[in-house]
Structure 1
Amino acid sequence: MMEEKSSTVKQGKLLQNKQVDKSRHAKLRCLNIETLFEKYFTILDSEGQTQIYMLPECESMFKEPPWQLDNLQVLKNSLNEMKSRLNNFNLNEWQQHTYQMNKAGDIVSTVKRNIQAELVTQAWCKFYEIASNFFLIPLSEIRREENSKEFCSVHLCEAPGAFVTALNHWLKTNAPDVRWNWLATTLNPYCEGNSYDKMIADDRFIRHTLKHWCFGADNTGNIVDLRNLDFLIERCKLFDEKERILLVTADGSVDCTDEPGEQESIVTQLHLCETVACMHVLQKGGNFLLKLFTLFEHQSVCLMYLLSCVFHQITVTKPASSKSGNSEMYVVCINFKGRDYVAPYLNILRQYCGNVTPTKAMFNLRDIPHDFLRKIEECNKFFKHHQCQVIKDNISMFHAKKYEDILFELKHVKRIVANKYLKDCRLSRIDSANEIVGREILEKSNSSYVNKKWRVDSYNERCKKQDLEPREYLSQICNETKEIELPTEKSYTWHLRTPETLEIQTGKSFNKVYSSYFCHLKIHRILNKIDDIVRDTRSTIRFPSAELTREQTQRIDPALETLSFQFVHDYDSHRTIAEIYDRLKKFQTGQTLVLVGYSLLTQLNIGLLHLLSGFFEKITIEINDNEGYRIKLETYKHNDKVLNNLREILTTSHNARKDNMTIWSIIPTMILYECDQVSLIIQLNHLAIKLYAHHVKNFIHDMLV
């Protein structure tokens, strides 16, 4: 009897302990979830703060050498030490692990499923969360004038456009009476001189809203260029007087994967240019949302002080929908004091906008109040603590034995977090008629070109590759080309549509194709790696080689005309246009033109083929095992209209060169992107890159033997 009673007591205690453990876990889980939604730090609140920060005399700006604050450097080193523990992790494996561990990982999918909003991405969720938690959209200022409920927003570094669609959704559910217009800028996804490492190439939204996008004086969209910044400012002046610019967002960043410890310094010039652009176009009483990272260096401290002097309220926040393990945070700047207030400083700040980073600190350290510096230190400690804790937990969980149990528990946590997000943001659906482009249209758009990160090595492995000698590195690159799928036939006949009218687009001149819609991003990255090796070894490599071209040309019927190019030589659009025009104006009826080494990576080159189809009865692509392919334009027929079009293109190219500009395309981009030959064009480019890789490998091997 005593044994039964004792056993019952033990079972009761065990049950009680389990319930206590469950209760403790539940409380801990709730605590962690609440913390996820409470990552913000107030730098300046004019309503409850006696300290008002004042800008020093503008003549004192950019006079003092760069300075450091020891306390901030200690925090930086501590954070970098924690980050360095990730150096040996395979990037893909680590990203997959952190995705699984991310408590907020279901927010995006939940919003997509339940709200069915337009262009829902992580950026969409971050913006909507900030707009719901802070007075980011200044409704009181918008409605200040009795008869006006209009305003305009400007979005910097905005691709693919999720801040715009999120703002539209917020307005339709929170202020349906407000009439809104918008303008955005970003690195132009149609500029083949823009690198994938620097831009987001997703144009699903951009292609339908081009009239709202400003890519600057040189059409690149690079805001770290004073000419483009001034072009944007002038464009903003075209808004109606009622459409006051009362919101500016800046979501810019730079790929810092290869230098994670210096992310802040790498992006500092971009952040300065974004801020200067904002202060030029924002109306008094307007708000500014700026993405920053850490605040350890003098550039960021000075920028934060500048913002604290020209806005009435400054809060730094990391939304729950932002990845907890990174340094990303947003500065919410409320109630701008106006351009008149900041005008004398803008003239000086403009001098330091551009590709050259200032060599002096924006402000003297003695001009920044100790109270402000103390807040910056506390802010850094606050966000650094949260980030380090997440990294530490993720490392611990990566090696955990009961990983499946943890993931099972996390599923429940993710569901709670996603539901809390929906509730806190008061999210609801809007009528499809109120969308900008339309969710269904965007989802149907071809997204195969969307910019993705393909690095799979760990940070340390990437560093080791940089130390490899060229032959070994090229061998590794050639191994990557084994997966390239090649054309299945030996020849193809193309039926291209001759454009009715020209749509000539010019932009900044570039001598290397850094991005192309007509090539898989991963394969294009291989091409860029090879070109880097060629440059580093100071080699001059022709592909197809002169010997190969001569040999192949001799095999061609002498009656055929041959025009030779270089698939990967320095890109020169003007030379291509001029050589084609000069050859064709001498052509006789019935002749055939063979293009050797003609690149199909650019819109211009493919557009020229569309135009040339008006001269010839047939276009045949012949696959060649050594050089990739040849393009045979058969049976010439004179066409005055097409010849005049070519002459117009050549004249435009001549004029563009005077301003360091060049022709990017001659027919609408979407006609090229949606033509029937796109998949084959991509295969042909892949074939040429594969053969080029092996050609360079053999050349470098012979050179170094």
Structure 2
Amino acid sequence: MSSYHIKRYSNVQSDLDVTVTKTEVPEKPKIEYGYNCSLNDYRDVIDNIDSDVWKKVRWYINEYDFLVKDPIINRAFYKYWEIVNEFELFEEYEEKNRDLVLHCAEAPGGFIQGTNIYLQIDRLPEEPPAPPQPNQTTDEDGFVTIHKRSKKRKPKLDYRIFTISLNKDLPQYKTYNLPSYNKNIINKHVCITYGKDDTGDVNNWDNIHHIGHLAERPFYLITADGGFDEGTEFNNKEQLHYALILSEIYTALQLQKHGGHFALKVFDIFTETSIHLLYLLHLAYNEVYIYKPKTSRPTNSEKYVICKNFCLSDELKTVLFSNLGQLSATIGKLKSKYISFRLFKSIPNHFVDDIKHMNTDLLNKQCAFLQRAVELCKNDNFLEQYDNQLAQSIERRKQVFQEWEQTYNLNAYV
């Protein structure tokens, strides 16, 4: 687990100065933001490793890569559960006000499942234990009657979860191999929407506004776990996700309740565009953290931006939304694979220093895991003995899972 707090230095708004650039090549990562070319060097090596071998080794070296335990539906649940507990995201949740939750890019629904479990069980008021009742009685004639103990279920809270993901049933998405919502997470509390145009695409900002109209009030917690397969351009994952991450951030700024929280999945943060997006979140929330969950694979660049206590003023919202709307429209017109953009005239040096420190630390840890993985992939003796190594790893993993489960109190829920 790695968590980095981006210190809040000022509440003063920086001068907005939105510019967009269309290029034939992806934006270059910068050394001043903590980039080191060794990361892409390892990725290039991995491209030449047999995919089956890589998957085995990747799983082997990550002791937090748990097998999904019924009734949990996927690994995303574990990451969400860890984040919610580490950052106490439901600490200020108000049951009496029926605070709303929005999960974006969510199918099959691991985050929804986490919210369902947390709100149905943890937020229930504690009840004093009932006195024990005898399970049998004897009448005056000596006959014994066995009484079946009733299993009293606690009532579920009247909470509400909204969710949006790409509509897998549309012809344009048939080749995407999109997941369906898992039927086990759907209940009366969950509202699935595909937006105004029925695509479920948050890159169409009309779909974001549609969610606001449906909900009729802002959201306490918003999560955005979007991502897509970049094919052979793994080194450009950060740049290819600019538009999606911009749209997910706009979703939070547009729909967030004052004092609410936002969790956003990102990848590398080495380009100027990414730094500007992070700085925007820094201005909009009182607390911003970068978090690499234990349950996130250490060989990849996935991490989460945890934003707490939304504080964007209505005045700044008006100015900001006008500029962001123009930016989104321009990106749509360019229809380019590669774009980059700037949001502010300048970014404070101390903010850049914080990002560089965080990036350097995370990159060094990632490269250490990548180096170990590459070495094992090339180790014929290890691969020949893999089944024996695997058996030992599984036993160790069971212990790690129990410790993780106790740390985040999951064993008390499922």
Give the TM-score normalised by the residue count of structure 1: 0.49
Structure 2, gaps ≥5 residues long: 126-156
Quick one: which of 123, 134, 157 aligns to 1:175? Answer: 123
Alpha-carbon distance between aligned partners in 2 of 1:75 and 1:334, rounded to the nearest angstrom: 27
Match of 1:197 in 2: 176
**1:493-513 deviations in whole A, cap 9, x for unaligned?**
xxxxxxxxxxxxxxxxxxxxx
Alpha-carbon distance between aligned partners in 2 of 1:321 and 1:290, rounded to the nearest angstrom: 16
> Which structure has the highest helix share of the two?
1
Change (3 A) 1:141 1:201: closer
Q: 1:276·1:350 contact (CA, 8 Å) conserved in 2?
A: no
Alpha-carbon distance between aligned partners in 1 of 2:353 and 2:40, rounded to the nearest angstrom: 21
Q: C-alpha root-mean-square deviation of aligned residues, in Å?
A: 2.8
Structure 1, gaps ≥5 residues long: 1-37, 432-705
Match of 2:360 in 1: 381
**1:202-236 deviations in whole A, cap 9, x for unaligned?**
55458767971110122111111133233223223
**Partner SS, residue 62 of structure 1:** strand
Match of 2:145 in 1: none
Indicate whether 1:353 and 2:333 are aligned. no
Alpha-carbon distance between aligned partners in 2 of 1:284 and 1:210, rounded to the nearest angstrom: 23
Alpha-carbon distance between aligned partners in 1 of 2:357 and 2:252, rounded to the nearest angstrom: 27
- What amino acid does structure 1 have at the position aligned with 2:108? P
Match of 1:227 in 2: 206
**Partner SS, residue 101 of structure 2:** strand
Match of 1:93 in 2: 53
- Aligned residues, how many? 370
Quick one: which of 63, 78, 82 aligns to 2:42? Answer: 82
Equivalent runs, 1:87-236 vs 2, <5 Å:
87-106=47-66, 108-109=67-68, 112=69, 116-117=70-71, 119-137=72-90, 139-140=91-92, 142=94, 148-177=96-125, 179-197=158-176, 199-201=178-180, 204=183, 212-236=191-215
**Partner SS, residue 361 of structure 1:** strand
- What amino acid does structure 2 have at the position aligned with 1:182? I
Change (3 A) 1:203 1:194: farther
Quick one: which of 9, 12, 18 aligns to 1:61? Answer: 18
Larger RCO, structure (CA 8 Å, separation 6 or more):
2
Alpha-carbon distance between aligned partners in 2 of 1:408 and 1:383, rounded to the nearest angstrom: 30
Alpha-carbon distance between aligned partners in 2 of 1:290 and 1:266, rounded to the nearest angstrom: 16
Alpha-carbon distance between aligned partners in 1 of 2:11 and 2:39, rounded to the nearest angstrom: 29
Q: 2:33·2:359 contact (CA, 8 Å) conserved in 1?
A: no
Q: 2:264·2:306 contact (CA, 8 Å) conserved in 1?
A: yes
Alpha-carbon distance between aligned partners in 2 of 1:62 and 1:236, rounded to the nearest angstrom: 33
Indicate whether 1:42 and 2:16 are aligned. no
> Which structure has the highest strand share of the two?
2
Change (3 A) 1:376 1:281: same
Q: 2:33·2:356 contact (CA, 8 Å) conserved in 1?
A: no
**Partner SS, residue 428 of structure 1:** helix
Alpha-carbon distance between aligned partners in 1 of 2:272 and 2:392, rounded to the nearest angstrom: 43
**1:18-60 deviations in whole A, cap 9, x for unaligned?**
xxxxxxxxxxxxxxxxxxxx3111113x5xxxx22543233x2
**1:377-405 deviations in whole A, cap 9, x for unaligned?**
11111211121111111121223324446
Taking only the aligned residue pairs, the percentage that are identical comes to: 21
**Partner SS, residue 224 of structure 1:** coil
Match of 1:477 in 2: none
Indicate whether 1:273 and 2:247 are aligned. yes
Match of 1:695 in 2: none
Alpha-carbon distance between aligned partners in 2 of 1:258 and 1:219, rounded to the nearest angstrom: 30
Alpha-carbon distance between aligned partners in 2 of 1:352 and 1:416, rounded to the nearest angstrom: 49
Indicate whether 1:282 and 2:256 are aligned. yes
Equivalent runs, 1:492-511 vs 2, <5 Å:
none
Indicate whether 1:362 and 2:320 are aligned. no
Match of 1:313 in 2: 287
Change (3 A) 1:321 1:338: same
Match of 1:646 in 2: none
Equivalent runs, 1:396-407 vs 2, <5 Å:
396-400=375-379, 401-402=381-382, 403-404=385-386, 406-407=389-390
Alpha-carbon distance between aligned partners in 1 of 2:273 and 2:30, rounded to the nearest angstrom: 15
Indicate whether 1:411 and 2:369 are aligned. no
- What amino acid does structure 2 have at the position aligned with 1:363? L
**Partner SS, residue 94 of structure 1:** helix
Alpha-carbon distance between aligned partners in 2 of 1:422 and 1:234, rounded to the nearest angstrom: 38
Q: 2:195·2:206 contact (CA, 8 Å) conserved in 1?
A: yes
Alpha-carbon distance between aligned partners in 2 of 1:167 and 1:215, rounded to the nearest angstrom: 20
